[in-house]
Amino acid sequence: MDEIAEWYRQLNSKVKTAIKFFCFVAIVGAIVWLFNQFLYAPMGINGDSMKPTLSDGDIIIIDKISYTNEEPERFDMIAFKYKYDYSQMYIKRVIGMPGETIYMEDNKIFILNEDTGEYEQLKEYYGYYKGENKYPDCQPITLGEDEYFVLGDNRNDSEDSRSSAVGAVKRTLIVGKACFRILPFNGIGSLEYQ
C-alpha cells in the first residue's frame, strides 16, 4: 500500500511540474504574441526596392506604437499592408504628405507650395538611381487627407506609389515605422537617420 501511495505522490508531483511548465510556456507565448501584435515586430526584407538603405534578406524591427500618438513624417520608412492582400507587407519611404500635390519629372520630386501656387523641388538624398527607370514621369497627384505618397529608395526597381498596384497609401494600412536592423550582424543598428 505504501508503494502505491509513493507512486501516486511521484505521479502527482510530475503532473504538477508539467502543468507549471505548460503554464509558463503559455504565458511566455502570450507575452511574445502581444509584444509582436501591439509594440514591436520583426520584418524580413524581400527584394532590393529599398537599396542601398535596406537589402534583400535584412531583418528589421517595426515600431508599431510610434504612430499611435503621432503621424508619419516625410522621409520615415514605414511598413504598410498591401491594399489587395493584407497578409503582405511593404516597406517604403514617405515622400508626399496628406493633402499635398506631388509629381515627378527626370527623377526629381516636385511638391506644390499652396501659398505660392508654384511647384518646388523636394530636397532629398534617399533616391538611388542606377540603370533604366521602369516608370515614366509621374503626373501630378493630389493626395487625400489620409493618404501618403511612398517611394522605394532604389527608384528604378521599386513597386511604390508610382504604380497603380500600390498607389497612395491610406493611413489605416500603415502598421508602423522601421526603427532597427537586427540582421545582418554587420548592419545592426538604428534606422532613425537612414
- Which one of 13, 16, 20, 49 is the catalytic residue? 49
Candidates 64, 92, 158, 177; catalytic one: 92
Q: Annotated catalytic, 55?
A: no
> Do 64 and 39 form a contact (C-beta atoms < 8 A)?
yes
Contact 147, 47 (CB under 8 A): no
Active site residue 92: yes
Q: Write out the three cell numbers for 31.
A: 507575452
Helix (H, G, I), strand (E, B) or coil at 82: strand
Strands (E), the chain: 40-44, 59-63, 77-82, 85-96, 101-105, 108-113, 118-121, 138-142, 147-151, 169-170, 174-183, 189-190
- φ and ψ of 140, to 5 deg: -55, 135
In the structure grid, which three cell numbers stand for residue 149, read together? Answer: 505618397
Number of Cβ within 10 Å of residue 90's Cβ equals: 24
Residues that are catalytic: 49, 92
